[in-house]
Structure 1
Amino acid sequence: MSRDRLAPRDWTRAALRALAEGGVGAVRVDVLARRLGVTRGSFYWHFSDRDALLKAALEQWEQQFTARVIKNLDDVGDPAERLERLIRGAFSDESVPGLQPALMAHADHPVVMPVLRRVTAQRIDYITAIYRELGLPSDVARRRAVIAYTTYLGWLDLGRGPDDAVPEVMPDGEAPAVIDDIVAMLLPPAG
């Protein structure tokens, strides 16, 4: 298959990496085409314009890193175990490093905003539902979910900073011990 016949997914993956590295402005057809080793014509085979690519990339991100994660966790019957797996997975594996902070930085962009709003709502609603299953009243469950999600966003932001500023969030540092503490703090006491 010719390199000029990349699949749409090749373009959306490249767009997500560019977005993570440099924000919305870094998602440029000519730059992505060079990175992928193809002509701009390959892009226009699949997308009408840059916003169509950005929308498709964000929908892929939503599907892969929210809907699929939720679906995979739904098989875990014990809500405490489900929440622990969610926390450990989220804090241990940033699949596209820098993507979530970049999206938050561009939350007012007209293509980013609706997807980010939807993903944030899905994630907080899912965490709230787990806390409800654990026996917390609805208002407390919602607050806990917001705290858990805020902690996650802060973790990602700190990971973008200088390695020596907060070495505890770096994967090769104390991160596993800090994640253990986060799990302990975010899980409600048993009983």
Structure 2
Amino acid sequence: MEQGRRRLTADDWAAAALDAIGERGLAGVAVEPLATRLGTTKGSFYWHFTHRDALIEAALALWERRFTEATIADLAAETDPRARLRLLLTQVADHAGRRGAAAANLLASADHELVAPVVRRVVRRRLDYMIELFQEIGFPPETAERRALLGYAAYVGHDELETRLPGVLALGGDTGRDDGRLAAYVDSVLELLLHGAPARP
């Protein structure tokens, strides 16, 4: 029986594969254990996918949609670029570690033939988005690019630390604590990234 008689979709399998990547990297994407996790059989897998690589590709596409395109779309309602940047930094810091494990493990597999083009595209998309934010704030293009690179490098480092050494940064985030440390951290990062920014119009 598939999840209380609900027929599993390709996205169900992709989400389970993405979770497995977060736990064990690409090696965690194995059909039989995923079928057990989903409460189904290998037949369900072969209904949606012809082989394991197709599932990995679906998981990568889901990761790109869920953690890049959806995030950017969610920020679109905020018209102030400084506020958008703060929201972005808060989200990525809050989701680091447990929910960011898939990203850390994908970066560790960035030389894999299936992973490489997706990771490169995602990193480029994220950097371009941040560059646009800094330009909207008023920085010239070259400065905007440097600030975006610095901000993104800080995010990747933060995510890696929380994934490999959970709790070492003691900022709360996915642990559920709300004692102000995460907000103070985001404020300090913003202060550095926006140092010398043009005055608000």
- Fold similarity call, TM over 0.5: yes
Offset from partner CA, 1:124-169 (integer Å, 9 cap, x none): 0000001011111111111111111110011111112334644347
Whether 2:193 is the aligned partner of 1:177: answer no
Quick check: 1:146 aligned with 2:153? no
- Give the alignment's Cα RMSD to 1 decimal: 2.1
TM-score, with normalisation over the residues of structure 2? 0.86
Cα distance in 1 between the residues matched to 2:67 and 2:76:
14
**Counterpart residue number, 2:117:** 114
Deviation, 1:93, is 2.3
Q: Structure 2 stretches of 5 or more lacking a match?
A: none
Judged with a 3 Å threshold, the aligned counterparts in structure 2 of structure 1 residues 65 and 32 are, in CA distance, closer, same or farther, namely same
Return the offset for 1:36: 1.0
TM-score normalised by the chain length of structure 1: 0.90
The equivalent position to 2:104 in structure 1, one of 84, 101, 105, is: 101
Moved more, 10-19 or 154-163: 154-163
Q: Does 1:187 align with 2:190?
A: no
- Following the alignment from structure 1 to structure 2, what is the Cα–Cα distance between the partners of residues 24 and 2? 24
Q: CA deviation at 1:179?
A: 2.5
Q: Which residue of 1 aligns with 2:35?
A: 33
Residues 1-191 of structure 1: matches in 2 within 5 Å? 2-3=2-3, 5-94=7-96, 96-163=99-166, 165-168=168-171, 171=175, 172=177, 174-188=181-195, 189=197, 191=199
Q: What percent of counterpart residues are identical?
A: 38
- Does the Cα contact within 8 Å between 1:11 and 1:53 map onto a contact in 2? yes
Instruction: Say if 1:17 and 1:99, in contact at 8 Å, map to a contact too.
Output: yes
After alignment, is 95-104 or 9-18 more displaced?
95-104
Number of residue pairs matched by the alignment: 191
- What code does the residue aligned with 1:155 have? H
Note closer, same or farther for the CA distance 1:92–1:166 as it changes in structure 2 (3 Å cut).
closer
Distance 2:170 2:81 in 1: 31
Asked whether the equivalents of residues 91 and 152 of structure 1 are also in contact (C-alpha less than 8 Å), the reply is yes
Which residue identity does 1:26 align to in structure 2?
A: G
1:30-80 residue CA offsets vs partner (Å, 9 max, x unmatched) = 111111111111100001111111111111111111111112212211111
Q: Give unpaired runs (5+ residues) of structure 1.
A: none
